[in-house]
Chains A and B, each alone.
Chain A
């Protein structure tokens, strides 16, 4: 089921310690920039997969392994938690 970054606000809060839905994500594959809230998110699988809405490349994967969040951010060129409005 395809949701958006709003759906993982709580998960990202757990990982980053602050609300990341307005954080600006830059796709390492296509360069598209936009708020995390507008990424395409797949939940309910073995892990949470966050994809670029523009090119569908994987931006971020969070797998819950033995109670710990294992986070892979290698699909992001940048993640700016405090972008200029």
Chain B
């Protein structure tokens, strides 16, 4: 194995926090300075490792929120009983360091050569790798039609709202709010079900490529609905984040 060629992938490298952006009350995007980053595909993730002064260390995986060519970013949701996410979303500041390994994951990725039409379905923080796909699609000038259906509890929980709202043309973003909706809400309400998919999902005759990401139960329920709509399982890619 050539030393330098694989260094970025197989070993941990030191990352310095370049910037932090609060997306919602409990979600933050962290931009990392990674001088030896080899580039990445949309949908991939990276592993981080934090080491405390007493030597205790913790590792976690986060989807990369940015497209190749942009600074490497992760978007982290604070879990109330978490050990790492409260630190990343509240304590961490520019200049702090962590270790990063990646990019990881050759399966749950999309590039323009993979074609479409693309159906992206996100549950909560599952939107992160799908946002990377949309950014990559836009940056590469691809005209593959894309639709994102994004399920959140309420409007304040929607991550990247302003950015997602500016997609037009061949990329359509639809939201569903499951817990409460603001007055004059024009989007969907309630959990993703077959009736909603009937309005959003490409017909199977168009040979769409689907990416579903979010909590395990969400992903499995949605995948089942797409299979029932005759999407071949080889064209339904899933990434489970655990949780509910």
Contact = CB atoms under 8 A, between A and B. Distances in A.
Query: Is chain B in direct contact with chain A in the complex (CB below 8 A)?
Result: yes
Interface of A: 1-7, 9-10, 13-14, 17, 19, 21-22, 35-38
Interface in B100-153: 101-102, 104-108
29 contacts: A1-B216, A1-B243, A2-B242, A3-B242, A4-B238, A5-B107, A6-B45, A6-B105, A6-B239, A7-B61, A7-B240, A7-B242, A9-B105, A10-B59, A10-B101, A10-B102, A13-B10, A13-B101, A13-B104, A19-B104, A19-B105, A21-B106, A21-B108, A22-B106, A22-B107, A35-B107, A36-B107, A37-B108, A38-B107
B52 interface: no
6 closest A-B pairs by CB: A37-B107, A9-B104, A10-B47, A22-B106, A21-B107, A22-B107
A4 B239 contact: yes
B5 interface: no
Nearest to B220: A2
B216 A3 contact: yes
Interface string B73-104: 00000000000000000000000000001101
Given A2-B216, A3-B240, A10-B47, A17 B105 contact: no
Given A6-B45, A10-B47, A21-B105, 10 more contacts: A1-B242, A2-B240, A2-B242, A3-B240, A6-B239, A7-B242, A9-B45, A13-B101, A14-B10, A17-B1
Residue of A2, A10, A22, A37 ringed by the most chain B CB atoms within 10 A: A10
Contacts, number: 61
Contacts of B105: 6, 9, 19, 21, 37
A7 B237 CA distance: 14
Contacts of B108: 6, 21, 37
Nearest to B104: A9
A30 to B, nearest CB: 16
Interface in B193-244: 216, 237-243
A3 to B, nearest CB: 5
Contact of B106 (A4, A7, A19): A19
Contact of A4 (B9, B47, B240): B240
Contacts of A7: 61, 240, 242
A7 B102 CA distance: 13
A5 to B, nearest CB: 8
Nearest to B239: A6
Contacts of B241: 3
A21 B59 CA distance: 19
Contacts of A38: 107, 238
